[in-house]
Structure 1
């Protein structure tokens, strides 16, 4: 796919088609990384626990309970290996 650089203030940019933005989950903040092949654009994942409230509300709306599968996947490596009760 070819596209043109466009002037954005004193810089230049590109317009990414909506289909590519959706396919690669690009929205808001992205990471730009130079590679030998060119420029790699990747989505920036939100901090692990930033969206907990929304995830809980969505799961509860689907009938899950905190005692069930709702808390599955919330633990990180520290909590799995280092935490002691």
Structure 2
């Protein structure tokens, strides 16, 4: 797919067709990583998008409690260096 570099304020950019964004599950204001690999610009979705919001929702719903109870042994408490 071919596109052109355009002026965006004092910077330059490209328009990414919505078809490509949908394939990567990206939308307006999605975070991406830009890298240069073998003379090409590579755009990748940033990892863990939406995790902060999901964690806040889980906490608000009380769904962020530990799944296992704390079962530290005496060795863990006295001998282990944390």
| TM-score, normalised relative to structure 2 | 0.57
Structure 2 counterpart of 1:78: none
Normalised by the size of structure 1, how large is the TM-score?
0.55
Partner residue in 2 for 1:33: 35
Q: Residue 12 of structure 2: SS of its match in structure 1?
A: strand
Where structure 2 has 5 or more consecutive residues not aligned to the other structure, the ranges are 73-82
Separation in structure 1 between the aligned mates of residue 36 and residue 8 of structure 2, nearest angstrom = 21
Aligned pair count? 61
Query: What is the deviation of 1:29?
Result: 1.0
Instruction: Kindly report structure 1 stretches of 4+ aligned residues shifted beyond 6 Å.
Output: none
